[in-house]
Amino acid sequence: MTAPNANHLKIRIFADGAHVEGIRKAAADPRIQGFTTNPTLMRIAKVDDYKAFAQDVLEIVPDKPVSFEVFADDFPTMEKQAREIASWGQNVYVKIPITNTKGESAGPMIAALSGAGIKLNITAILTVGQVEEVARRLAKQTPAVVSVFAGRIADTGRDPVPLMTKALQVLHERPHAELLWASPRELLNIFQADAIGCHIITITDDLLKKLALVGKDLNDFSRETVSMFYSDAQAAGYSIALAD
C-alpha cells in the first residue's frame, strides 16, 4: 500500500469554526486557505453579536475567503442580510442556503445576488439537482462556492464520490464557481475529494490535527495502539484472578 503524501494535495483546505482564538490559530497555518462559519457553529461558540464577531474575524483574516451565513427564512429579509454581509469586506462570501425551511428554492435570489456581483457560498446542498439549479442561477463572471454536504450524504449510507464527481461536471460551465466538499467525517475524505478534482474542503480542528498522521508507518501505528491499550489497562488498575 502506497503511503499518501499531504504535500501533494491540490485541494484547498478551509477551516470550519466560529471560535475566534481557533480562527486566529488557523490563520497562522499556511495549510489553511480560507474560512467558513455558520449560525450553528456560532451558537456553539457563544457568539452573541453577529457583526462584531464578523469584524473580529475579518481583522484576523483580511485577505483569505471568509463565509458568513444569512439567517432569515423569508427571501426579502435574507436578501437584505446578504447585501449587508457582503459589504463587510472584499474577501467575504455570503452563505445562502439552497432553500428556506419550507423547502422553497433560493434560486431567484441567488440569481439576483450573483448578478449584482456578490460572491456567494451556496450551502446545504445534497443533490445533483440542487447543484444544477445553482449552476443555472450563478452569473458566469461572479466568483462563487457551491457547498455540497458530502459528509451528510455519507451519513445516509450513500457514497458521496459519484455525486461529487457529477457536481464537478455540472459546474464546468461556471469557471468561477468552486465545488466545496462540506462536512467531511474523516481524514480520508480530503484525499477522496482531491482525487476527483474537488476545489475546496472544509475541515474542523480535530481533522486538522490528524494531518500529522498522513503517511505514518502502519506497523509503528499498530505498536503505538497496543501500547495505548496496555498503558490504559495499567492506569485503570485492571486485574483478573488467574488459576495456577
Instruction: Provide the β-strand partners of residue 202.
Output: 14
The mean per-residue pLDDT over the stretch 164-187 comes to: 96
Decide if pLDDT at 1 tops 80: no
- Candidates 3.40.50.720, 3.30.70.360, 3.40.50.970, 3.20.20.70; CATH matching 8-214: 3.20.20.70
- For residues 231-240, one letter each, b for 16 or more C-beta atoms within 10 angstroms of the residue's C-beta and e for the rest, the string is eeeeeeeeee
pLDDT at 2 over 80: no
Torsion angle in degrees (nearest 10) through CA of 214, 217, 222, 228:
-60
Q: How confident is the model at residue 4 (pLDDT cuts 50, 70, 90)?
A: confident
3-class state of residue 182 by DSSP? coil
Residues labelled as active-site residues: 95
Question: Which pLDDT score is estimated for 143?
Answer: 98
Exposure string for 190-206, b = 16+ CB within 10 A, e = fewer: bbbbbebebbbbbbeee
Q: What is the 3-state secondary structure (H, E, C) of 94-108?
A: EEEECECCCCCECHH
> With pLDDT > 70 as the criterion, what percentage of the chain qualifies?
100
Which amino acid makes up residue 183? S
Sign for the pseudo-dihedral over CA of 27, 30, 199, 63: positive
Domain ranges of the chain: 8-214
pLDDT in tens, 48-103: 999 999 999 999 999 999 999 999 999 999 999 999 999 999 999 999 999 999 99
Mean pLDDT of the region 211-226: 94
Going by pLDDT thresholds of 50, 70 and 90, the confidence category of residue 8 is confident
Does 24 score more than 90 pLDDT? yes
What nine digits make up the cell of 239? 486485574
Say yes or no to pLDDT of 244 above 80.
Answer: no
pLDDT at residue 140 tops 80: yes
* Three cell numbers written together for 93: 462570501
Q: Look at residue 208 in the predicted model and tell me its pLDDT.
A: 87
* Residue of 218, 214, 216, 221 lying closest to 13 (CA atoms): 214
The Cα 94–Cα 84 span in angstroms is 9
Instruction: Kindly report the pTM of this predicted structure.
Output: 0.94
C-alpha cell, 158: 450513500
